[in-house]
Amino acid sequence: MFSRLDLKPLPQPIVFQQSFVNNAWGYQNRGWFIDGGGVVKAFQVREAALWHPVERTGPDSGFIATDALLANSNVETRVVYTIPLLELHKYYKLLQKAAEGTISERVRGAYDAGLVQYSGFVWDDTKKLYKSVLLGISGDWTQNNTHPAAGEIRDYLDAINTFYADSLQVWQL
């Protein structure tokens, strides 16, 4: 286990991310992420061209490059909250376990509601890319990572989401 004095920020631009994307009435992409230092930052992307998604096809499907992750972390943001490094390290270790989980089939949930997605990023030393670890999707579709660690992380990120939601009253998106 870690000593609080031994803990250092994780060397990656984004560790966890919650996003809401909806194209029903024009492009909407907003949410928050937690960086390697435990800083929770809200973001809003007004143009799809400014966002770098995880690769969906080809040999790098499910991965994202460091420069793309960095660019995403630098979109219009503001600090919402900071979590202790001890918590960040705890949930990152769980994320490494969840990365081995299986993903359930997508089930239709709604229409034109958009998607809320929780995910995390784990460095893959072989590919020299970040693996996107899906934790769960809800909205137009529902899909979940079935590993028990993924559920524990989602519960934790739901609590972080409360700080984000409360902050929206102050920051108009």
Question: Does the residue 103 lie in any domain?
Answer: yes
Helix (H, G, I), strand (E, B) or coil at 41: strand
Q: Is the pLDDT of residue 107 over 90?
A: yes
Q: Is the pLDDT of residue 2 over 60?
A: no
Give the integer Cα–Cα distance in Å for 150 and 146.
7
Question: Does the residue 144 lie in any domain?
Answer: yes
Query: What is the pLDDT of the chain when averaged over all its residues?
Result: 90
Mean pLDDT for the stretch of residues 19-29: 89
Question: Does the residue 99 lie in any domain?
Answer: yes
Listed range (21-35, 80-94, 154-168) with the worst mean pLDDT: 154-168
**Cross-strand pairs, 64:** 130
What is the residue range of 101's domain?
Answer: 16-167
The pTM (predicted TM-score) of the whole model is 0.90
**Higher local confidence (pLDDT), 24 or 89:** 89
Predicted pLDDT of residue 173: 46
For 59-93, the pLDDT digits (tens) are 889 999 999 999 999 887 889 889 999 999 999 99
Within 8 A by CB and 6+ apart from 39, the residues are 79, 81, 82
Predicted pLDDT of residue 93: 97
Q: Is the pLDDT of residue 156 over 60?
A: yes
What distance lies between CA 71 and its chain's CA centroid? 14
Question: Does the residue 2 lie in any domain?
Answer: no
Predicted pLDDT of residue 163: 75
Q: Is the pLDDT of residue 168 over 80?
A: no
Question: Does the residue 173 lie in any domain?
Answer: no
Closest CA to 81 of 7, 157, 172, 3: 157
Mean pLDDT for the stretch of residues 114-138: 95
Question: Does the residue 116 lie in any domain?
Answer: yes
Contact in structure between 157 and 16 (CB atoms under 8 Å) = yes
The torsion angles phi and psi of 84, rounded to 5 degrees, stand at -65, 145
Predicted pLDDT of residue 52: 92
Domain count, the chain: 1
Question: Does the residue 74 lie in any domain?
Answer: yes
* pLDDT classification of 4: cutoffs 50, 70, 90: low
Q: Determine what percent of the chain is predicted with pLDDT higher than 90.
A: 70
Question: Does the residue 158 lie in any domain?
Answer: yes
